[in-house]
Structure 1
Amino acid sequence: MPTKKLTKRWLYNNFLVILIFLSALIIAFSLAIRNYYYNSVLSVVKNTAAVQNASLINYSEDNTVDFSVAARKMVEDFEDKDLMELMAIDKSGTVFITSSGFSPSSDTQMPDYIAALTSPTRDASSYDTINGESVLCYTLLAPAVNDSNLSALRYVVSLTAVKRQIYILIAAAGVVGAAIIFFVILSSSYFINSIINPIDEVRKIALQISKGDFSAHLKSTTDDEIGELCDAINAMAVELQENEKMKNDFISSVSHELRTPLTAIKGWAETLMDDSVDRETTKKGIGVIIKESERLSGMVEELLDFSRLQSGRLKLNPTKLDLVAELSDAVLMFTERARQENIQLNYDEPMDILPIMGDANRLRQVFVNILDNALKYSDAGDSITVLVQVADNKATILIQDTGIGIAPEDLPKIKTRFYKANATRRGSGIGLAVADEIVSMHNGTLTLDSKEGVGTTVSITLPLTV
């Protein structure tokens, strides 16, 4: 399902990135909080140790004071014993007195003391675990005094309360991160659903359209890209529906157009099979058969041209020719038909030669198609006028009729394939589309101007050559 794929894509591309970023942020925050609190504790311990060390220096410089006794008393009376434990270490590396009165076991490791002995700053710190409790140990070497066994003072601070505070802050950061994730999921779910649901609806409607149900439409409720997509699909459905209707009308029209000459041919052929038919009737029947065969051949050729047009196989064989000559031949073909239908065909052949690079047969096909349409959509008593105008190295051929004209709503679609503005007149509805394409292939233009009940003017403009 597309929806699942979109959700997975969002999870991989967005949510996973946010989750990794927040996790990294919480880890960095945790490390920063831990370092801050641990450094704060160490700073307090160092300040305390500096005060105690200053007192030891004073004792060492005061000849009236016994340094060893004063140092012992300072440890025993350590005023911050509730916050940390103070240990006095002798020169053999053994704790000989503590502020709590309890001496550590003999196997207690003191890496901070060992490090302080070789440190240029005469101090060192370490983190250790004593009886399952995390502690910070800080050692500061005592001032050197003759006959004194005191080597260093070691401060031990419990980190239990500090770690508890760190855990609380980390938990708070985790809660904030979880709240952010929850908000992202909530807002993104709404956002994803606002995209996925319309897309799923588009998918369903598209399937209906693909099965030929062009009446299916989407309800556009948003003024964004999704709404524009819905509008585009609705427009496509309407266009497909119109094309389907035009195609069906075309098939119906062509079937009718093919049936008419075939019926005439079949009828006269059956008539001529009778030996009793006289010569005059036979001659008339053969004439009808020839006329209807030519009409049928023209329709088939028109269909073939349309097929070539659709597949891109409609090719031109351009040569230098006289445009007037091709137009005059086409007009001459319809002179007798116009007379028979009582339609006046006016054409004043220009005396000048209008040279053009083009396909003579295809251009004549265009003129024949336009003149044929003019006659089809004109009634007895109407007139058709053919004019040739030259300007800006271009020739414009105007074919004007006073026929029934084209309705305003039909005019924009009149050059569309399969489209017939008037179903009561014969024709397949593809001749004008083929003619327009042929003119375009000659780098020209074919335009129509028409008023219903007044008539139609077709303008064909082609570039002249030297």
Structure 2
Amino acid sequence: MKKLPWKKPTKTVTLIFTVSIFAVMLFIMTVQGLSMYFYMKFRYQIEAPLPQFWRPIPLLIIASSITGTLLATLVNRITLKPINQLIQAVNQLAEGDFHVRIHLDLTEDFIKLSDSFNRMAQELENTELLRSDFINNFSHEFKTPIVSMRGFAKLLKNQNLSESERAEYLDVIIRESGRLTQLASNVLNLSKIEKLSILTDMETFHLSEEIRLSVLLLENKWQMKELDLIFDIDELDYHGNKDLLNQVWINLIDNAIKFSSPKGKIVIKLHRQKDFIKFCIMDNGCGMSQATLDHIFDRFYQGDSSHTTEGNGLGLTVVNKIVKLHNGRLEVNSDEGFGSAFSVYLP
């Protein structure tokens, strides 16, 4: 945290004080001289010469300059110093130095100003860290499939490859190109959803049926892992954006399948509770640590730092945004090694 230096008074401030003091002193001396002249003339009938007001002007200029400089310095230290500190701090923020902090404790208002500025600087610093992490993860997610495709494309130039090897390498290229396409689609989808502030295309639809259709869309995935799906679903209708909410169900179910162990169990529940509808999906997979839970909705964040797990860290960011657009909330409970539970509450 950098300490801001004290700034000397500006020439403009010093000049204003000097001219003001000079004008006041000249006015006082003029009034005093004229008063004495007329007093002597009319009270004692003495013909005295008019005072020569120009004679003390050089002395007044010197005295005004000294006094003006001293007053400007004093005012700058007491009154203008915190303002100068704030200006310098704002300039440092504009230059990208988000570590700057100020401590103005002259009055309660200055203390509040310091706290507000420091909170703003802290938020900007956090945003810069998130931006840096976003770029690093984004670069990694795009670079990995491209490098893989390039490597296998080079191997395909080998004339001695067998047909099975050639087919295997082509499958890898197809799979990685699909992964790249999916990543680009997810980024565009996230960008589109994050720009939304008001929901459109609202309709009343059969929510229970949409959840069942989402499970059917992922049938190949959960059948390959031989998962046991347990349903506890009430037949409910809901008024909202059906297409956006389908992304919620598909992302959450897909995550549960992805992190479940083979022959594991997934429980899907849907019930009305007082003034809201609760959708809950629970798995008995690997679970998440507290560090992962703290960042689970960040863009491109993956609990698996090695990036070996399938996915790109955008699904839950999209889910959370869609749920908030419906004035709902998303809760996560997880025990590392025992599984996770995601609950969506829709009003």
Give the TM-score of the pair, scaled to structure 1: 0.56
Q: Deviations over 1:194-223 (max 9, x none)?
A: 6557755764575355xxxxxx73365655
1:252 CA displacement: 0.8
1:444 maps to what in 2? 328
User: 2 CA distance for matches of 1:243 and 1:418?
Assistant: 11
1:317–1:40 CA distance, 2 compared to 1 (3 A): same
Q: Distance in 2 between matches of 1:387 and 1:264?
A: 45
1:248 offset after TM fit, Å? 1.0
Letter in 1 for 2:340: T
CA spacing shift, 1:206–1:180, aligned 2, 3 Å: same
2:266 is aligned with 1:384: yes
C-alpha displacement of 1:305: 0.6
Counterparts of 2:188 and 2:178, CA distance in 1: 15
The partner residue of 1:239 within 121, 127, 131 is 127
Q: In the alignment, is the contact (CA less than 8 A) between 2:89 and 2:101 conserved in 1? A: no
Specify whether residues 244 and 17 from structure 1 end up closer, same or farther in structure 2 by C-alpha distance, changes over 3 A only: same
Q: What are the superposed Cα offsets for residues 296-343 of structure 1, whole Å, 9 maximum, x if unpaired?
A: 654443233123235559975333211111111112333442343244
Identity value in percent: 20
Distance 1:310 1:448 in 2: 21
Gaps of 5+ in 2: 1-6, 106-110
Q: Which runs of 5+ in 1 are unaligned?
A: 1-5, 46-137, 139-155, 210-215
Q: CA deviation at 1:389?
A: 1.7
Deviation at 1:158, TM superposition (A): 3.8
Q: Distance in 2 between matches of 1:347 and 1:254?
A: 37
CA contact (8 A) 2:271 2:278 kept: yes
The 5 A counterparts of 1:200-349 are 200=88, 203=91, 206-207=94-95, 217-218=99-100, 225=113, 229=117, 232-233=120-121, 235-256=123-144, 298-309=182-193, 316-349=200-233
C-alpha RMSD over aligned residues = 4.7
Q: Tell me which residue corresponds to 2:305.
A: 423
The answer on whether the counterparts of 2:282 and 2:342 sit within 8 Å (CA) in structure 1 is yes
Amino acid at match of 1:441: L
2:133 & 2:121 partners in 1: Cα distance? Answer: 18
Q: Secondary structure at the match of 1:409?
A: helix
- Of Structure 1 and Structure 2, the greater strand share is in 1
The structure number with the bigger radius of gyration is 1
Corresponding letter in the other structure for 1:207: E
Deviations along 1:139-195, whole A, 9 cap, x unmatched?
Answer: xxxxxxxxxxxxxxxxx44458xx59x999999987775554122222245465665
Name the structure 2 match of 1:186: 73
Measured at CA, do residues 418 and 222 of structure 1 come closer, stay the same or move farther in structure 2, by a change above 3 Å? farther
For residue 326 of structure 1, what is the amino acid of its counterpart?
E
- Please, what TM-score do these two structures have when normalized by structure 2? 0.72
Distance 1:264 1:18, change over 3 A: closer
Q: Cα gap change, 1:416/1:201 in structure 2, threshold over 3 Å: closer, same or farther? A: same
| Aligned position for 2:108 | none
Residue pair 2:260, 2:286 contacting (<8 A) in 1 also: yes
- Distance (whole Å) between structure 1 residues aligned to residue 33 and residue 171 of structure 2: 110
Q: Does structure 1 conserve the Cα–Cα contact (< 8 Å) formed by 2:227 and 2:264?
A: yes
Compared CA separation, residues 257 and 400, structure 1 to 2 (3 A): farther
Quick one: distance in 2 between partners of 1:270 and 1:375? 37
Match of 1:414 in 2: 296
Q: Which has the higher contact order (CA 8 A, sep 6+)?
A: 2
User: Whole-Å Cα distance in 2 between the matches of residues 455 and 383 of structure 1?
Assistant: 10
Q: Any conservation in 2 of the 1:265–1:293 contact (CA below 8 Å)? A: no
Q: Distance in 1 between matches of 2:225 and 2:279?
A: 23
Code of the residue aligned with 1:453 in structure 2: it is G
Instruction: Check the 8 A contact 1:30/1:170 in 2, yes or no.
Output: no
**Which residue identity lines up with residue 185 of structure 1 in the other structure?**
A
Work out the CA distance in 1 between the residues paired with 2:197 and 2:179.
24
